[in-house]
Structure 1
Amino acid sequence: MQGCGFRGHDESVDYKNRGNYIELINLLGRMNPKIGSILEKAAKNAKCTSTEIQREILKIITGIVRDKIREEIGETKFCILVDEAIDESNKEQMAINLRYVDRDGFIRERFFEVFHIKNTSALTLKKEICNVFNQYHLLIENLRGQGYDGANLVDKGLNSNIRGDAKGLYLDIKSFDFVFVLFLMHEVLGISENLCQTLQKNDIDILNAMNLVSTTRINLQQIRDGRWEEFLWSVIKFCESNDIGVPDFDDCYTRVMLSPVDGFRSFSLCDICSLVDKYFYYHDFSQEEKEDLMRELYRYKFDVLRHGQFQNLDFLHHLCQTLARTMKSVIYPLIDRLVRLVLTLPVSTATTERAFSGMKLIETPLRNKMENDLLANTMVVYIERDIALGIDT
């Protein structure tokens, strides 16, 4: 669980440092006379300390951790977060994290698998992801979103000459969402450039860096408070001049209508129903459920405003947790489903970046010949240690 190596350079009885696994067992034997007695009396071929046994124990624990994650997901909708990195042995590794909302309303992002890939083309990624889905019985129809490190995966995918993806990529580029994000990133990166350059210097000036952090934050807030309409107009003008469709903002961007901030001030029955009926989630609700949703929202609006536990909620995930805790999710199942679907969508690939940080701690220059299965099993137990610690031995 600490990402330490199991084996030693020499695990023979006379060697002074036989590796973490055997040395820890011997330490337990010295601390507990019963364990020490068993280790002394056990036959050489029955000590369960061989390399094969070490890996088998790790594999069993990893299997239990993955089973618990799979059980936690159940039949709920989920998203995948995918990223790639070069490991210590200069091999391309791809990590998969699963994002979902558990039965108690908490957002979970669990590290699930890492494996070596020959290239990062779209065809290879699709094949490997499908293999993981099939192996662990994850239903593709429950997948509601995918998050990738776009810069690396897209560039390398194009270099792999996968012509079949070119048309789809062109359609994505010719979308309002792509243009919006492109303009927004241009604004954000332009504002934060000085701060980024300062933080990367070896002789960093802490006082100036702190001032830049404050200034950058104020500038970013100004986009939201005073320049948002101007920014949005520039995006719309670009789209119109390049024959890119512009959505109806009065209907399309209505996720905020579910927000519990300021006593559900933004709550709007019609806009929320449009979110389900016309845009993002129309496949997740039957026609009958869409009609029932309006009636459910009407009752919900008056109910939660009078319920003390729903007051002073700041974020949507707090609302989801409160619905589960108060059992209102049973009374308003369609609203609970909609809130969970919104929360399931990925917002970043930071979880996979943290997973690769863990990989660097595990696969060190002295352990750069680890097999893929051993690396994956060690990473799962290390990163999801809260589940591993709960295993009943």
Structure 2
Amino acid sequence: MIDVLDMIEEDGTSSEQRGDAKLLLKCMQSFEFIFILHLMKKVLSITHELSQALQRSDQDIVNAMKLVKMSKQKLQTIRDSGWDSLLDEVSLFCEHHEVVIPNMDDTYQTFKKSKRNSEKVSNLHYFQVQFFYQVIDRQLQELNNRFSEVNTELLLCIACLNPRDSFSAFDKKNLIRLAEFYPSKFSPVQLLELDSQLENYIVDVCSEDAFYELEGIGDLSIKMVETRRHIVYPLVYLLLKLSLILPVATATAERAFSAMKIIKTQLRNRMGDQWSGKALKEMARPNTSGNCPCIYFDNYCNDTIRVGGFFTTINNFSCDP
């Protein structure tokens, strides 16, 4: 890339193109650019396995939660004692490629043309506090927000429904705890009934050949309907339905908030709820003839869920015309 920019700087078709190439070269051959690349490489190397685990189709929740805990610990360790090693690594890279290394005690010099209102800080403060600490703190905050103790417990409880390896993840105590997260669906009497249903359920499915080699709770719910076990164990089947709906509801609501950023711009910030709702409805419609995920919410259209610190009602995102 450096060679290409050198060629454009020398042989560009216009002065504007040559000027842009020169500016890019100056930025890419700076200590700041190299520092950012090394910092992002270090951070992304920690969260890479977690990102891959969360995107896998098998949804190994237990191992994913272990990776969340490990990622938090490693990020915190880097924040507490990783600054010196990162600075040494960047400095060695700059020396090898003949890039100027700034004195950390000097005042930071910005690339911006106007320096009148820029804050006067040392290079050490700029790179360590405003970059190093801030990037890691935001990563930790994002992990803590998305995987709080309550969310983690909920996901681990859902994992106990997984039928893999002959229901090896089954844990009656955790499944009853999962039901307690839905007080409107499970009364105290139903929780007692669920306890006995779970004991009979696990003996039944483990002794039935039809339930062997199932890959996930989706397959389990289908098999329960096919064998009419959803009638025999209605409370267990309700837990399955709630577990299947949870990720779909969260993802759909997050997509709606992302679409809202496009629709409710600064020029449209006075748009009413009815108008914005219609606009979101059009954004949610698929380009093909497939059904929108909102069809899964027919029986839960009045439920309020929390997504990213906001409370939203699912029926706001209904795709009904």
TM over 0.5: no
Please tell me the TM-score bracket, short chain as reference. Answer: 0.3 to 0.5
Bigger helix share: 2
Bigger strand share: 1
- RCO greater where, 1 or 2, for CA within 8 Å and sep 6 or more? 1
Task: Report the TM-score, using the length of structure 2 for normalisation.
Answer: 0.37
Task: Report the TM-score, using the length of structure 1 for normalisation.
Answer: 0.31
